[in-house]
Amino acid sequence: QVQLVESGGGLVQAGGSLRLSCAASGSTSSTYYMGWFRQAPGKGREFVASISWSGVQKYYTDPVKGRFAISRDNAKNTLYLQMNSLKPEDTAVYYCAAGPAQDLSLRYGPWGQGTQVTVSS
Protein backbone atom coordinates (compact mmCIF):
# COMPACT_ATOMS: atom_id res chain seq x y z
CA GLN A 1 0.00 0.00 0.00
CA VAL A 2 0.92 3.63 -0.47
CA GLN A 3 0.20 6.28 2.12
CA LEU A 4 -0.44 9.75 0.74
CA VAL A 5 -0.45 13.11 2.47
CA GLU A 6 -1.67 16.17 0.58
CA SER A 7 -0.78 19.77 1.38
CA GLY A 8 -0.69 23.23 -0.12
CA GLY A 9 -4.35 24.12 -0.32
CA GLY A 10 -5.79 27.43 0.79
CA LEU A 11 -7.97 30.40 -0.01
CA VAL A 12 -7.13 32.35 -3.15
CA GLN A 13 -8.85 34.90 -5.33
CA ALA A 14 -10.00 34.06 -8.83
CA GLY A 15 -7.08 34.30 -11.22
CA GLY A 16 -4.59 33.35 -8.54
CA SER A 17 -2.31 30.34 -8.21
CA LEU A 18 -1.63 27.53 -5.78
CA ARG A 19 0.78 24.61 -5.75
CA LEU A 20 -0.36 21.38 -4.19
CA SER A 21 2.02 18.69 -2.96
CA CYS A 22 1.49 15.04 -2.16
CA ALA A 23 4.04 13.05 -0.18
CA ALA A 24 3.98 9.30 -0.78
CA SER A 25 5.33 6.54 1.46
CA GLY A 26 5.00 2.77 1.67
CA SER A 27 5.63 -0.05 -0.76
CA THR A 28 4.32 -0.55 -4.29
CA SER A 29 5.49 -1.98 -7.53
CA SER A 30 8.55 -0.24 -8.86
CA THR A 31 6.68 2.11 -11.17
CA TYR A 32 3.25 3.61 -10.87
CA TYR A 33 1.07 6.45 -12.00
CA MET A 34 0.14 9.25 -9.65
CA GLY A 35 -2.57 11.78 -9.99
CA TRP A 36 -5.05 14.20 -8.53
CA PHE A 37 -8.79 14.03 -7.97
CA ARG A 38 -11.12 16.62 -6.51
CA GLN A 39 -14.48 16.66 -4.82
CA ALA A 40 -16.59 19.80 -4.75
CA PRO A 41 -19.38 20.24 -2.19
CA GLY A 42 -22.35 18.08 -3.05
CA LYS A 43 -20.58 16.40 -5.96
CA GLY A 44 -18.73 13.18 -6.57
CA ARG A 45 -14.98 12.81 -6.74
CA GLU A 46 -13.62 13.55 -10.20
CA PHE A 47 -10.34 12.94 -11.98
CA VAL A 48 -8.17 16.02 -12.48
CA ALA A 49 -4.79 14.87 -13.78
CA SER A 50 -2.32 12.01 -13.77
CA ILE A 51 1.31 11.42 -14.65
CA SER A 52 3.36 8.37 -15.52
CA TRP A 53 6.36 7.22 -13.52
CA SER A 54 8.76 8.76 -16.05
CA GLY A 55 6.82 12.01 -16.13
CA VAL A 56 6.52 11.85 -19.90
CA GLN A 57 2.82 10.96 -20.10
CA LYS A 58 0.46 13.48 -18.55
CA TYR A 59 -3.31 13.51 -18.67
CA TYR A 60 -5.76 16.26 -17.73
CA THR A 61 -9.48 16.66 -17.55
CA ASP A 62 -10.65 19.25 -20.07
CA PRO A 63 -11.67 22.00 -17.59
CA VAL A 64 -8.10 22.32 -16.28
CA LYS A 65 -6.11 21.94 -19.50
CA GLY A 66 -3.83 24.89 -20.03
CA ARG A 67 -4.20 26.05 -16.43
CA PHE A 68 -2.94 23.15 -14.29
CA ALA A 69 0.39 21.35 -14.56
CA ILE A 70 1.16 18.03 -12.90
CA SER A 71 4.69 16.94 -12.07
CA ARG A 72 6.51 14.51 -9.82
CA ASP A 73 9.89 14.10 -8.14
CA ASN A 74 10.50 10.39 -7.68
CA ALA A 75 13.64 10.99 -5.62
CA LYS A 76 11.48 12.82 -3.08
CA ASN A 77 8.42 10.58 -3.55
CA THR A 78 6.40 13.72 -4.11
CA LEU A 79 3.69 14.69 -6.56
CA TYR A 80 2.80 18.28 -7.41
CA LEU A 81 -0.06 20.16 -9.00
CA GLN A 82 0.60 23.72 -10.10
CA MET A 83 -2.74 25.47 -10.46
CA ASN A 84 -2.87 28.79 -12.29
CA SER A 85 -5.73 31.06 -13.39
CA LEU A 86 -7.91 29.54 -10.71
CA LYS A 87 -11.67 29.84 -11.01
CA PRO A 88 -14.40 29.58 -8.36
CA GLU A 89 -15.45 26.28 -9.93
CA ASP A 90 -12.05 24.85 -8.97
CA THR A 91 -13.13 25.02 -5.34
CA ALA A 92 -12.94 21.49 -3.93
CA VAL A 93 -11.04 19.14 -1.69
CA TYR A 94 -8.11 17.81 -3.70
CA TYR A 95 -6.84 14.27 -3.22
CA CYS A 96 -3.87 12.49 -4.68
CA ALA A 97 -3.73 8.85 -5.70
CA ALA A 98 -1.26 6.23 -6.90
CA GLY A 99 -1.97 3.21 -9.05
CA PRO A 100 -0.96 1.02 -11.98
CA ALA A 101 -2.92 2.75 -14.73
CA GLN A 102 -3.40 6.23 -16.10
CA ASP A 103 -6.99 6.62 -14.96
CA LEU A 104 -6.14 5.51 -11.40
CA SER A 105 -9.32 3.45 -11.29
CA LEU A 106 -7.32 0.99 -9.19
CA ARG A 107 -5.31 2.58 -6.43
CA TYR A 108 -2.50 1.49 -4.13
CA GLY A 109 -4.01 2.29 -0.78
CA PRO A 110 -6.74 4.46 0.71
CA TRP A 111 -7.49 8.10 -0.02
CA GLY A 112 -5.58 10.63 2.03
CA GLN A 113 -7.21 13.41 4.01
CA GLY A 114 -7.14 15.79 1.06
CA THR A 115 -6.37 19.49 0.97
CA GLN A 116 -9.02 22.19 0.64
CA VAL A 117 -8.80 24.68 -2.20
CA THR A 118 -11.19 27.61 -2.09
CA VAL A 119 -11.31 30.17 -4.89
CA SER A 120 -13.23 33.36 -4.22
CA SER A 121 -14.79 35.41 -6.98
Compute the distance between CA of residue 116 and CA of residue 99 in angstroms, rounded to an integer: 22
pLDDT of residue 31: 81
Cβ neighbours of residue 62 under 8 Å, at least 6 residues apart? none
In this prediction, residues 91-119 reach a mean pLDDT of 94
The answer to whether 90 touches 119, Cβ cutoff 8 Å, is: yes
How far is residue 33 from each of residues 37, 40, 108, 111, measured CA to CA in Å? Answer: 13, 23, 10, 15
pLDDT of 13 higher than 70: yes
Q: Is the dihedral of CA 41, 43, 44, 47 positive or negative?
A: negative
pLDDT of 1 higher than 90: no
Give the pLDDT confidence of 21-65 residue by residue, as tens digits.
999 998 666 689 999 999 999 999 999 999 999 999 999 999 999
Per DSSP, the residues of 56-70 read --EEE-GGGTTTEEE
